[in-house]
Amino acid sequence: MKPRFKIQNTIGIALLLFATLTSCTDDLDIVPNDDQTVLSEELFTNEAAYKQVLAGIYANLALTGTDGAENSNLKNIDAGTSQFGRVLLYVQTLSADQMIWSYENDPGAREIQRNTWTAQNPLLLGMFSRAHLSIALANNFLRETTDAKLDARNVSTTTRTDIVAYRAEARLMRAMAYYYMMDIFGKANFVTENDNLNSFPPVYERGQLFDFIESELIAIDTDLIDSRQNEYGRADKSVAYMVLAKMYLNAEVYIGENHYTECLTYCEKIMDGGYTLAPNYLHNFMADNNTNSAVNEIIFPIVSDGTTTQNYGPTTVMVNGQVGS
């Protein structure tokens, strides 16, 4: 299944427009005047931008756009039904009868819950598109942080040292997106930072995706920050171990091979990283779960709050789903 999707890319559009106009005549010397459009070379004159662009990859898991909860950076898809946590909850949990949902007025939810969905289900389109946007954002970050680019910009040694971990995190976020594509759809349009932007991506099947994800997560292990040592909301080694453990647990489905021993190994690595169950189970679902006992249990949060990361995401849906109609 390959639902069609379209991603808005203001930087790409601005570059294309500029190239087209300047190639016609020197008289049309136009500079984009959209205050939300920043060309990459201008953006990275400030070395703090590298961390900000990395943050955008994480933000794609919580936000749907840059202008509030009603805004979506995916065309023709409702902002709510493309929020990563929300569509992941629906397509993985609701479809597996792990919960019974009274909130069936949410477009696509009824079909997912009753196993009557089609390829045009808005929740499936949202999941497909959001995961591929994560891949695109990670690829862009990796293209902008090559040694050649950093040399050309005279990036400081301190920032370059930080960028080693930043690149590992971007690769991890990309691998995780491919994991969900492999798990949910069984295939994905496959692109890395080394591919031409104008090339038509090949479709990778489960076996190919499994091999890529596994090799990526193993390769970045030494560059990732140690378990529970990164900033809140950023990924560390245990997030990579978590994805590997989930892959190995279901390897018989993905590639027809038994990998339970490897699954156990990576689960033990997570526990060795200092993660423990919260003494109070309810702490996991409270707004202060970044400071209460749940902080020792939650391996990788999708950061949300009522002030800076408003969205129609999983917490909103969970509350509405309990109320129902």
27 pLDDT more than 50: no
Q: Give a yes or no: residue 275 inside a domain.
A: no
* pLDDT at residue 279, rounded to an integer: 97
**Residue 203 phi, psi (nearest 5):** -100, 120
Reply yes or no on whether the pLDDT at 15 is more than 60.
no
Q: If you average pLDDT over every residue of the chain, what do you get?
A: 86
Quick check: 29 pLDDT over 60? no
Half-sphere CA count of 122, side-chain side, radius 13 A: 17
Interatomic CA distance for residues 72 and 80, integer angstroms: 8
Does residue 252 lie within any of the structural domains? no
Long-range contacts of 108-114 (CB under 8 A, 24+ apart): 108/81
CA distance 130 to 177: 9
pLDDT at residue 285 in the model: 86
- In this structure, which long-range contacts are made by residues 251-256, counting pairs with CB atoms below 8 Å and at least 24 apart in sequence? 251/210, 254/182, 254/183, 254/206, 254/207, 254/210, 255/206, 255/207, 255/210
Query: Which one is predicted more confidently, 166 or 100?
Result: 166
Q: Which pLDDT does position 281 carry in this prediction?
A: 95
Residue 22, pLDDT above cutoff 70: no
Q: What is the CATH number of the domain that holds 193?
A: 1.25.40.390
pLDDT at position 324 is: 58
Is 73 part of a structural domain of the chain?
yes
Show contacts of 205-212: CB within 8 Å, 24+ apart.
206/182, 206/254, 206/255, 207/254, 207/255, 209/178, 209/179, 209/181, 209/182, 210/182, 210/247, 210/251, 210/254, 210/255, 212/175, 212/178
Return d(Cα 23, Cα 17) in angstroms, integer.
10
In this structure, are residues 84 and 60 in contact, taking their beta carbons and an 8 Å threshold? yes
Predicted confidence at residue 293, as pLDDT, reads 96
What pLDDT score does 209 carry?
98
| pLDDT average, residue stretch 81-110 | 86
- Confidence at residue 13, expressed as pLDDT on a 0 to 100 scale: 30
- What's the confidence (pLDDT) of residue 325? 56
> Residue 254 falls within a domain, yes or no?
no
Give the range with max mean pLDDT: 7-16, 160-169, 298-307: 160-169
pLDDT at 26: 47
Say what percent of the chain tops pLDDT 70: 87
The range of the structural domain enclosing residue 177 comes to 38-234+309-322
Q: Is the pLDDT of residue 321 over 90?
A: no
Least confident span in 82-96, 111-125, 188-202, 307-321: 307-321
pLDDT tier at 36, thresholds 50, 70, 90: low
pLDDT of residue 6: 34
For residue 296, pLDDT over 50 is answered with: yes
In a domain, 15, yes or no: no
Residue 253 lies in a domain: no
What would the mean pLDDT of 23-46 be, rounded to a whole number?
60
- Over residues 171-183, the mean pLDDT reads 98
Task: Please indicate, yes or no, if residue 152 is contained in any of the structural domains.
Answer: yes
Q: What is the pTM of this model?
A: 0.86
Domain count, the chain: 1
Which range of 20-29, 65-74, 78-87, 155-164 scores highest in mean pLDDT? It is 155-164
Q: To 10 degrees, the CA torsion angle through 130, 135, 136, 138?
A: 120
Asked whether residue 166 is assigned to any structural domain, the reply reads: yes
Cα-Cα-Cα-Cα dihedral sign, residues 174, 177, 179, 185: negative
